[in-house]
C-alpha cells in the first residue's frame, strides 16, 4: 500500500512569528508608527504585506508601499 505525499491529515504550513504579528495588526486595523532607516516616521495601518514590502494606509488616507529593508522598527501608536 502506498501513501500519497499529500494526505488530508497534513498540517497547513506554519505562519512565521514575525508575520503573525503583522497579520494581527492588519486584521485589527491598528495604527502603527514605522521608523525608517533615514529617520522618517510614518503613521498608519497595514493594508497588506508580503516578504519584501508593507503597504500602509496613512492617517491622511494616502497609501504607501514601503520596502521592509528600509524599516528600522515599528510600534503600536
CATH for 34: 2.30.30.100
* pLDDT, position 22: 92
Please report whether residue 30 resides in a domain. Answer: yes
Domain residue limits at 62: 17-76
pTM for the complete prediction?
A: 0.75
Quote the number of domains for the chain.
1
- Quote the CA–CA distance of 16 and 38 in Å, as a whole number: 27
- Quote the CA–CA distance of 6 and 29 in Å, as a whole number: 35
- Quick: pLDDT tens for 36-49: 999 999 999 999 99
- Quick: pLDDT tens for 15-70: 566 788 999 999 999 999 999 999 999 999 999 999 999 999 998 999 999 999 99
* pLDDT, position 19: 85
Q: Hunting for cell 503600536 — which residue is that? A: 76
Does residue 44 contact residue 32 with C-beta atoms inside 8 Å?
yes
Please report whether residue 7 resides in a domain. Answer: no
- Quote the CA–CA distance of 46 and 15 in Å, as a whole number: 17
Please report whether residue 11 resides in a domain. Answer: no
**Between residues 13 and 24, the one the model is more confident about:** 24
Amino acid at each position: 500500500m502506498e501513501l500519497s505525499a499529500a494526505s488530508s491529515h497534513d498540517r497547513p504550513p506554519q505562519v512565521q512569528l514575525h508575520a503573525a504579528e503583522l497579520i494581527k495588526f492588519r486584521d485589527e486595523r491598528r495604527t502603527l508608527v514605522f521608523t525608517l532607516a533615514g529617520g522618517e516616521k510614518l503613521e498608519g495601518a497595514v493594508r497588506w504585506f508580503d516578504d519584501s514590502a508593507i503597504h500602509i494606509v496613512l492617517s491622511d488616507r494616502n497609501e504607501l508601499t514601503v520596502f521592509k529593508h528600509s524599516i528600522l522598527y515599528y510600534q503600536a501608536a
